[in-house]
Structure 1
Amino acid sequence: MIKIGMTLRLQALEEEESSNYRSKVVEQEGSTIYIDYPINETTGRTNIFPKGTTFNVSFVDQSQTVYQFKTEIIGKKMGKIPMLMIYFSQDDMIRIQRREYVRVNSALDISIHDMKSIKKPFHSITTDISGGGLCALYPIEELYHNGDVVDICVVLPMENERTEYIMTEASVIRIFKKDEADKPLLTLEFKDISERDRQLIIRHCFETQLKNRRREL
């Protein structure tokens, strides 16, 4: 599936500002992949990556399907060019849907504010989230209607023990009730969300999927 010469996109998990890098596969031996030094897609420069540095890695195969997996640097090798060694396990790989964002069940703290400061803000818990929007428990009293735009803040715990705060505008898409739920549900679609924040949410979804898959195994 991963071939020599293939381009990999790496997202550093431990940097203060998550950075995206690109690299190419130089060699492969079993579960070890040798890559050239990753180039920062913003600055065009490389960085110092010590052993143990963790990344989310994505690539596109011949059928244009996107896959993602988490890895870490397990060593370095000097050849015609300096290379990093990363671990690859097909069991940890997740297929990413390209046409729509992957949605996962996730209970996250969220606060919702009226942009005009007319309606009172409220705090709630999400039931699921994706890179495109989320669903949250909604108070019994009617505050908002379909099409309303609100300010939201979502508390996003990451696997690296950091907590991110996603603040963006969102549109109210639907308010509905499920028979098994005590409260109505509110679906929101992100508006004008920064690409950095969207990528953080996508990473949270990926990490949640991976945890669920490991539990099943």
Structure 2
Amino acid sequence: MSALYPKINDVLYIQLDTGDEKEAKIVYKSRISDMDDESMYMEVPLQEGTGRLKKLFIGDELSAYFLSEGGVKNYFNSYVLSHHEDIIRLVRIKKPDPDQITKVQRRSFLRVQAELEVAVIAKDGTQFLTKTDDVGGGGVSFHLKPGQSISEGSLLTCWVLIPYKNGAVEHVPFEGEVVRVKQLPTNRSIVMLKFNHIVDMERQKLIRYCFERQFDFRNR
């Protein structure tokens, strides 16, 4: 079913999932230079209209589409695997599975269900340890115990403990804003947090964990 894939020299239209609303609306153009079983190699993307080159970092998530016959948009989500110096600089991105190429755009970060330990410090000094419900490149959600309360719009300082498959463990610090508090029937609630300050390198650690997990789910 390789007809589903773009061809060499096809143009890719790309939007980045950086968690920044303004950035997420910008469309970049690139061209596919090469492809193998695992990856697509594309030129460094240019911003439409301005011609500004967009520097991509390893682990950056993108939502891309290419046009097939009749101008049909074919969307897929991917992420940056590495950089390559050929005659020109190329960016190697993950080649999607054929069934992940759709006619509908799926924005938003990858989210995976995960029970990770997270330490939370509120502005009033309240501190507690809890477990996440899910994590992603744009935020996390975590459980509140009965009797604990956090209001929407609060800013929290947190760090989450991330265990990788190879046995390494990372502490990822971030600051997040409470977007929503969802009440569960069990008298507990889940706090949904979006990052409003996280160092890029720390975000990559989270995204790497998400891709490892997603891979596990897929291979079950």
Q: TM-score, normalised by structure 2?
A: 0.58
- 8 Å CA contact retained: 2:40, 2:94: no
- 8 Å CA contact retained: 1:166, 1:197: yes
Aligned in 2, Cα 1:5/1:122: closer, same or farther, shift over 3 Å?
same
Question: Deviation at 1:130?
Answer: 2.1
Task: Give secondary structure in 2 for the equivalent of 1:3.
Answer: coil
- 8 Å CA contact retained: 1:150, 1:171: yes
Aligned in 2, Cα 1:92/1:139: closer, same or farther, shift over 3 Å?
same
1:173 alignment partner AA = V
Partner of 2:176: 170
Question: Deviation at 1:149?
Answer: 1.0
Aligned in 2, Cα 1:107/1:92: closer, same or farther, shift over 3 Å?
farther
Task: Give secondary structure in 2 for the equivalent of 1:65.
Answer: strand
Matched, 1:139 2:148: no
Aligned in 2, Cα 1:160/1:26: closer, same or farther, shift over 3 Å?
farther
- 8 Å CA contact retained: 1:4, 1:25: yes
Partner of 1:122: 128
* Identity within the alignment, %: 23
Counterparts of 2:145 and 2:130, CA distance in 1? 8
Query: Please, which runs of 5 or more residues in structure 1 have no aligned partner?
Result: 9-22, 43-54, 73-79
1:125 alignment partner AA = K
Partner of 1:68: 78
Q: TM-score, normalised by structure 1?
A: 0.59
Partner of 2:97: 90
Counterparts of 1:87 and 1:148, CA distance in 2? 36
Partner of 1:101: 109
Query: Please, which runs of 5 or more residues in structure 2 have no aligned partner?
Result: 13-29, 45-53, 68-72
Q: CA RMSD in A?
A: 4.6
Aligned in 2, Cα 1:57/1:94: closer, same or farther, shift over 3 Å?
farther
- 8 Å CA contact retained: 2:137, 2:207: yes
Counterparts of 1:189 and 1:196, CA distance in 2? 17
Aligned in 2, Cα 1:6/1:107: closer, same or farther, shift over 3 Å?
farther
Question: Deviation at 1:6?
Answer: 6.4
1:97 alignment partner AA = R
